[in-house]
Structure 1
Amino acid sequence: MKKITLAFCAALASAGASADTILGFDATLGAWKPAYSGTIGVNNFNVDEFALAEDNVTFIQAALEHPIPLIPNILLAHSKIETNGSTEITDEVTFDDETFRAYSTVSANMSLTHTDATLYYEILDNWVNLDLGLTARMYDGEFNATGQGGIVCIPTVPSTPCGDTQSETIELSGVLPMVYGVARFDLPFTGWSIIAQGNGTSYKGDRHTDLTAKIRWDFVPALDFAIEAGYRSMTLDVKELDALQSDLEIKGPYLGLNLHL
């Protein structure tokens, strides 16, 4: 991975990537409404069974561009991804170090909140815009499963675990290197743009992608305000990321407000 990262940086530097002729700033604040599917944990807890809430996810990103050659531009982004749900399992299920009893009610709380720090270069800067760089994605999340009751629960027999609560938490904390890219196509004289943006990494069978396709409309050109609408898809197919094993897909529409100076 280190060799790939160094080679990619060298390729960017030697490409003579262009820089902004003036200082530039671009920021987007928005809400994403994702649906969740896939599995998590060694024994494949199917997240579909938990009917995870499709709550709005808030996100923000801000980029600063400068005219200094060879020094990369910087982009910071943050997504607060949190959801919860519950299900009744009909068989024993082992999740990490805990075996949940059959016919117990299991509640799930999942957080995939993360912050991105990206260094990138402008490769093209006209009606076709292309940026390439590297991202360090810092996760601060977890998946918690809590079970109550079960097939051995007999209310009239005190020794059975009717009131016992089973709980297991897998933490997700660490930094993941990813390749970053964004392409923007400006439609001349219309104020409309078509944008594709993404981060991705793949290593020893593990794969993590975060892709967005969107359109942008400069509805107040004089004030540099624009509105964005699009679709974001995130996959997390990993055997062990920190302590997490998963094959998750999180995707849905989003709406954002953009300021560019």
Structure 2
Amino acid sequence: MKKTVLVLSLSGALLAGTAQADTLLGLYLGADGWRTSTDGSFAGNDQMQSFNFNDKTQTSYYVALEHPLPLIPNIRLQHNQVESAGVSNLTADFSFAGESFTADTQLQNQVDLTNTDYVLYYEILDNDLVSIDLGINGKHINGTVAVAETAAGGMAASQRVSQVIPMAYGAAIVGLPLTGLDVFAQGSIISYDGSRIYDMQAGVAYALLDNLAVDLRVKVGYRAVNLRLDDIDDFYADLNFKGVFAGVELHF
């Protein structure tokens, strides 16, 4: 499959090159708050229905371990809350999780596609001005999508979605000398067989602390997630989550 070729090609390129690891063991802990607006559609087949969603503040937190062993990848684990809900009027007949709903029905809709990233990466470049990481990400989507008629005694349906999706991963930081500031970008992406998933963010960070014991960065930026899923556990979707985030990161 195309996704397998992409991931294997990236892995081979990384192993063929010279990996530059941190000279010291480094532990990173971070957490973000992300204010999202959500739009998109989903269904139990390729006849998807558009839904309304409320804005929501999501959370994301991570831990990363970097080490001085050049051929063994560093590891990053990140848990991402990705959910939203709303009330929508169907514009056409709608099938979901074995249930059929007729046009003009009002539905409560809830999407929970919370996921965890399992990232293996190499530091391709790492100095005071520029840092570049490349690797692979196994994004484990594990959630539930549900709809229910708002009328008393109405029908309801829910669909479980659980899938590990391999993705290409990259991150870059460019320091701004004498300011304590840096600009950063990070993301994962894959496209295959009618599906496309990306999780991208970019922003600015400021070093509140920078010493031998601990570094502390605060950051603000913009994050965008697109989940275009084509028959993933009998689930079809094209959903967008995007908005401003702020966070903090500790480096020991």
* TM-score in terms of structure 2 length: 0.91
Mapping 1:172-191, distance limit 5 Å? 172-191=161-180
* 2: CA distance, partners of 1:180 / 1:90: 38
1:227 maps to 218
Which residue among 146, 149, 161 is the counterpart of 1:147? 149
Q: CA deviation at 1:252?
A: 0.4
1:19 maps to 21
Q: CA deviation at 1:10?
A: 1.6
8 Å CA contact retained: 2:207, 2:215: yes
Change (3 A) 1:97 1:87: same
2:135 maps to 133
3-state SS of 1:34 partner: strand
1:38 maps to 40
5+ unaligned residues in a row in structure 2: which ranges? none
8 Å CA contact retained: 1:195, 1:216: yes
Mapping 1:190-201, distance limit 5 Å? 190-201=179-190
* 1: CA distance, partners of 2:29 / 2:163: 25
User: 1:83-122, CA deviations, whole angstroms, 9 ceiling, x for partnerless residues?
Assistant: 2111233654333432213443211111010011100000
Name which one, 1 or 2, has greater alpha-carbon Rg.
1
2:99 maps to 98
2:62 maps to 61
The one-letter code of the counterpart of 1:166 is M
Superposition misfits of 4+ residues, deviation over 6 angstroms: none
Change (3 A) 1:253 1:204: same
8 Å CA contact retained: 1:171, 1:243: no
Q: Percent identity?
A: 33
* 2: CA distance, partners of 1:13 / 1:217: 33
3-state SS of 2:56 partner: coil
* 2: CA distance, partners of 1:91 / 1:79: 32
User: 1:184-227, CA deviations, whole angstroms, 9 ceiling, x for partnerless residues?
Assistant: 10111211010010000011232110000011101233441111
* TM-score in terms of structure 1 length: 0.88
8 Å CA contact retained: 1:228, 1:255: yes
* 2: CA distance, partners of 1:217 / 1:90: 47
2:251 maps to 260
Alignment RMSD (CA, Å):
1.6
* 2: CA distance, partners of 1:35 / 1:94: 25
Count of residues in Structure 1 that have an aligned counterpart in Structure 2: 245
8 Å CA contact retained: 2:21, 2:68: yes
Moved more, 81-90 or 114-123: 81-90
- Residue 200 (structure 2) pairs with residue 211 (structure 1): yes
